[in-house]
Each structure stands twice: as C-alpha cells, then as structure tokens.
Amino acid sequence: GDSVTQMEGPVTLSEEAFLTINCTYTATGYPSLFWYVQYPGEGLQLLLKATKADDKGSNKGFEATYRKETTSFHLEKGSVQVSDSAVYFCALALRGGSNYKLTFGKGTLLTVNP
Amino acid sequence: DGGITQSPKYLFRKEGQNVTLSCEQNLNHDAMYWYRQDPGQGLRLIYYSQIVNDFQKGDIAEGYSVSREKKESFPLTVTSAQKNPTAFYLCASSHQYEQYFGPGTRLTVT
C-alpha cells in the first residue's frame, strides 16, 4: 500500500543552523506531496506542497523538491529559528473517487534552542 | 473568518460512556475527515465523508461512528466499544487534495 517514511526524531538544533528532514514515499500512482507543521497543542497547518515531479514547494523559508527518481520530498531550511520548533509531517495524496485521502508519515519533532 | 472549529478543546469521560466530538466548517468543502493522533504514531484516519449523507470507514473505524446530515458538520461519536479512546482527535476538510485542519480535541477517558 501507499506509505510515507520520514526520519525519526527528535531533532535538536541551535538557532540559525541548517535543517533537513528526510521524507521518502511509496505510492501506486502519481501522488501530490505535502509538508504539514503542528505547533504544540494545535492542529496541522499546511506548510508547502508539490503536485508534480521537479516541482519545488516553498513557504516561510522552508523548501522541498518533488524527486520522482528517488521518491523523495526532503524538507530544508537554511537558518532555523526558535519559533520553528514543532512537529513536521510529510504526507502524500492520491485521488480516491472524487476527493483525496492523505497518507501521513509519523512526524518529526524539531526543537530549536536559542 | 473561514475555518474549521472543534469543540471542546479538552474532554473528560468515564469509561463506558459514549462521547460526541463536534466538527464544523464554513469553507464550503464537500469532503470532511476524522483522524486520531497518538504519540509517535502520526495520524490515522477514522472516517471520511465526500458528500452529505455518505461516509466511509478509514483505517481504524472500529468503536467509532459518524453522521453527515449537513455539509458544514461532521460529528464523531466515540463509543464504549473503543478499547483505547484516550487520544487527540483532529477534524479536517478538503478541497481536492489540500486538507485544512481544526485545532483538535483532546479526549481523556478514565
């Protein structure tokens, strides 16, 4: 079945460090790919997305490129801030009927220290 | 403001009682979803609905029930048959592939 594997956390970085969170997927079909962020005690917010191969999604300094050849969608940020501390989820969507279902990775907890 | 509301934010129940979690959206989305989140396990799909008066089981539907009588509302009932109901529950709605989430309800059953 369809699945998403992301690097296990927790990840702890100092402010202004470079961030990479790895995400790979398996899917029967051609998925759309997403990164969601969850701040403590809150729901998930869409961070960025890509719908076809070689697309780069970007938002708030975060980037991820849809790599079909390696089935990957790694999240990167050049300089993290304390406010980036959250849980990050990689997800894929395949169309089922007239709407889409999301398959999530298990999440990666990021802590950024001042 | 358009969005998804879930109430209450915290809910406490005794074992053996049914409890209903509310989810309302004013985004005019056709599809709505319920997820359960447990530490270290990501999100798991409980039920989803693509249209009013229709819904489908997700990956972990046992012990849960839903209704979809209005486009805006998709309440989830956690029944006494659910063996381990304590969790964080998230509701979402979607337009095509992009899902929008509510703030969640943390349910504790003792």
- Partners of B103 on chain A (C-beta within 8 Å) are 42-43
Inform me whether the pLDDT recorded for A29 exceeds 90: no
Average pLDDT over chain A reads: 93
- Partners of A34 on chain B (C-beta within 8 Å) are 98
Question: What is the per-residue pLDDT across A59-90, written as a single tens digit (0 to 9) for each?
Answer: 999 999 999 999 999 999 999 999 999 999 99
What are the E-state strand segments in chain B?
4-7, 10-13, 19-25, 31-37, 43-51, 54-57, 64-66, 76-78, 87-95, 98-101, 105-109
Q: How many CB atoms lie within 10 A of CB B59?
A: 13
* B contact test, residue of A2, A99, A104, A109 with most B CBs within 10 A: A99
Give the pLDDT score at B39. Answer: 82
Mean pLDDT in residue range A47-65: 96
Give the pLDDT score at A96. Answer: 65
The tens-digit pLDDT sequence of chain B (110 residues) is 669 999 999 999 999 999 999 999 999 999 999 999 998 778 999 999 999 999 999 999 999 999 999 999 999 999 998 999 999 999 999 987 788 999 999 999 99
Q: Which residues of B touch A (CB under 8 A)?
A: 4, 6, 30-31, 33, 40-43, 45, 48, 50-51, 90, 92, 94, 96-104
